[in-house]
Amino acid sequence: MSQGFHPSTLLSPPPRLPASTLRQRLSWWYRLAAPGEPGEDATLEVQERVRRCRLASILIVVESLVELVALQIALTAPNARLIALPMCLCVAALLVAFVCNRCGNILVAGILLVSSIEVFLLFDIMTTPGGIDVFTLPLFDVLIQADLIAVSLLVPWSGLLCAGINCLCIVLALTVGPHTPLLTHFLRTVPNDTFARPITLQVVTATIGFVLARSFRTTLRRADRAEEMNKLQRALAQQTREALTQKTRLEISIEQMLAVHTQVANGNVAARVELQALPDLWQIAGQLNTLLARYQRAHEAERELRQLHEALHRFAAALRHAKQDNQRLQFPAKTGTVLDEVLIELNN
């Protein structure tokens, strides 16, 4: 059985896409219209520039669609000859801005985008058939989008500059521009109200945008410095760990070399240092092994010489006894030295 209808289903909000899903859907567009992903070691300034390029790629497309629709409508208006060429140039400027943004030049792309919006709207207002009317005044309010885009893509004070240019254009349009009789009447009767609304909107929007953008840039610089400090701390911690590890390896290597010294001192002249176990001191360990090998050979030569001396003493004693007793010489047993060859010859 199907579930019954409940009025609360009409009031429930539509399901929202997860942020990850939206990011995945926009990733292909970012790869086409914006610079590539910054590296893991990129600074926050570089990451912020990439973020602004991605924002500009979306704004350029939206503004292009708006201007193309407005251009199609304007071509059917009585003043089509006056505004067709400027509006086409504005659309062309957006295409150039798209290319510059793809190359990562957000400054040029932002200037072209803001200029295209300004020129497009001002030409549309100034070329209104019959002159600027009371119903055309709300179009001056739309100029704040240029202020907001300038603050978002360019330096914070660019919004104030854009607002100042807009205020100047508004004053010139309302003073020396073509007017309808109704607007002329308004300018004579309530001039302050006519000028106050668009100019106040420009000033307030630009000021708030400047304060927010300046605060965001300050926060970004602080975060960048904090990130740099974190990187330095991680690097110092890594260096400290590597130094401790190297110190531990050196201590172990020195202990092994001391152990070999102790073995040699206790009579084990065949003891050697393992070179593979001492990667940090392998040169010293190699020289030590060479010294120990020479010491071993000298020790063996000394032992053989001592054995020879003892054998000669025994042989001399045997000779003395043989002379004193007038007996035949009794050769001593083999001594394990070079004296054995002499004894063999005497025996033969």
The C-alpha atoms of residue 248 and residue 253 are separated, in whole angstroms, by 9
Cα→Cα distances 15→18, 22, 23, 25, 230, Å: 9, 13, 16, 17, 39
Residue scoring higher pLDDT (317 or 102): 102
Question: Quick check: 204 pLDDT over 90?
Answer: yes
Across the range 151-177, mean pLDDT stands at 89
Question: Quick check: 103 pLDDT over 70?
Answer: yes
Spatial CB neighbours of 111, under 8 Å, sequence gap ≥ 6: 154
Question: Quick check: 168 pLDDT over 90?
Answer: yes
Residue scoring higher pLDDT (346 or 321): 321
Question: Quick check: 17 pLDDT over 50?
Answer: no
pLDDT for res 331: 62
pLDDT for res 4: 46
Across the range 6-29, mean pLDDT stands at 55
Which residue carries 């792309």 as its tokens? Answer: 109
The half-sphere exposure of 258 on its side-chain side, counting CA atoms within 13 A, is 6
Kindly give the residue spans of alpha helices, DSSP state H, lying in the chain.
8-11, 19-33, 44-74, 80-102, 106-126, 138-141, 144-153, 158-175, 181-189, 191-265, 282-325, 339-347
The C-alpha atoms of residue 72 and residue 153 are separated, in whole angstroms, by 28
List, for residues 260-274, the tens digit of each pLDDT value.
Answer: 878 888 878 777 777
Cβ-based neighbour number of residue 324 at 10 Å: 8
> If we measure between CA atoms, which residue out of 335, 334, 329 comes closest to residue 310?
335
pLDDT for res 8: 44
- Maximum Cα interatomic distance, the chain, rounded to a whole number of Å: 164
Residue 285 · residue 297 · CB < 8 Å: no
Q: Which helix (H) or strand (E) holds 26?
A: helix 19-33
pLDDT for res 9: 45
Cα→Cα distances 263→229, 279, 294, 295, Å: 50, 21, 16, 13
Q: DSSP string spanning 97-122? A: HHHHHHTT-HHHHHHHHHHHHHHHHH
Question: Quick check: 107 pLDDT over 80?
Answer: yes
Q: pTM of the predicted model, to two decimals?
A: 0.62
Residue scoring higher pLDDT (301 or 241): 241
pLDDT for res 173: 87
Question: Quick check: 7 pLDDT over 80?
Answer: no
List, for residues 299-319, the tens digit of each pLDDT value.
Answer: 888 888 888 788 778 777 777
Q: Which residues pair with 179 in a beta bridge?
A: 132
Kindly give the residue spans of alpha helices, DSSP state H, lying in 105-180.
106-126, 138-141, 144-153, 158-175
Region at 131 (left for phi over 0; alpha for psi -120 to 50; beta for the rest): left
Across the range 34-42, mean pLDDT stands at 75
Question: Quick check: 174 pLDDT over 80?
Answer: yes
Across the range 323-331, mean pLDDT stands at 70
Residue 330 · residue 322 · CB < 8 Å: yes
The pLDDT-based confidence of 165 (bands split at 50, 70, 90) is: very high
Residue scoring higher pLDDT (256 or 164): 164
